[in-house]
Structures are given as C-alpha cells and as structure tokens.
Amino acid sequence: MLAALADNPRKSVSHGNGGTGSNAKDLTGQTMLDKVQVSRAVAGLVEAGFALRRVDPRDKRSRTLALTGRGRALFDEIVPLVRAREAELLAVLDDRQKEVLRIAIDTLAERAQQLQFDEQKMTLATPA
C-alpha cells in the first residue's frame, strides 16, 4: 500500500508538494485489493503518521491520500530492500524464464483487473 501511494507513475503523489495524490479507488485498482482491505490499510498508514487524507480539490466529496515526510522516508528505506530480495529470487532464472514469468504475471494481473471490474459492475447493477 505504501508503494502504491509512493510509486505511482500515472499520478502525482503529494508529500507536501501540492500534488493531488491518489484516492482509495485508485489504490484499490493499483494494489488489486478489495475496498475493505484498502480502507483498513489507509487508516493504518494515516494513524501511524505515514500518510495524510485531504479533500480532493476536484471533487469535494472525495479524499486524496499523500505520503508524509515520514512515509516517504520509510518508503525510501524499504524499496532497496525489496528490490534486493527480488533480485535474489530472480537470480535462479535465466532470461527466457524471467520473460515467461513477466508475461504470466502480466496476464494474471490483467485477469484480476477484469474480475474486479466485473465484480464492481455486478455490485452497481444489484438493486438495494
């Protein structure tokens, strides 16, 4: 969740720089977690002082999320550790195997997004 807030190439994520940040809906799509999981994770980050919620200037009903300086520092500390672990894991694969793995992960991610989209459509279509 911290990574989704901090390392989102599609949106500017603010940590005090005036950017608009991400919202919970964006994070749900980026992390492929359900709304409840995202909500709990965001609440934990805010409570721990790693992120802030702000009124979205484009939609006053919505809240954007942004890392605090403390959250950015933690992210910057964790990223090299995660990348090093990833390199250790992938070291046993040759280039062909790495490409097959990348394709498989991309395919699964696309399917997960489609299932999430289908689930959201069904939820909206179900009368209350």
What does the pLDDT look like over 20-45, one tens digit per residue? Answer: 567 777 777 777 777 788 888 888 98
Q: How many domains does one find in the chain?
A: 2
Residues 28 and 73 in one domain: yes
Residues 80 and 100 in one domain: no
SS (H, E, C) 56-99: ECCEEEEEEEEECHHHHHHHHHHHHHHHHHHHHHHCCCCHHHHH
E-strand ranges in 4-74 read: 22-23, 51-56, 59-67
Q: Which domain holds residue 31?
A: 2-90
Residues 9 and 59 in one domain: yes
Residues 84 and 100 in one domain: no
Q: Report the distance separating Cα 114 and Cα 111, nearest Å.
A: 5
Give residue 6's pLDDT band: very low, low, confident or very high (50, 70, 90): low
What is this structure's pTM?
0.62
Instruction: State pLDDT tens for residues 87-103.
Output: 999 999 999 999 999 99
Identify the CATH number of the domain in which residue 40 sits. 1.10.10.10
Q: In terms of C-beta density within 10 A (0-12 exposed, 13-18 middle, 19 or more buried), how is residue 85 classed?
A: exposed
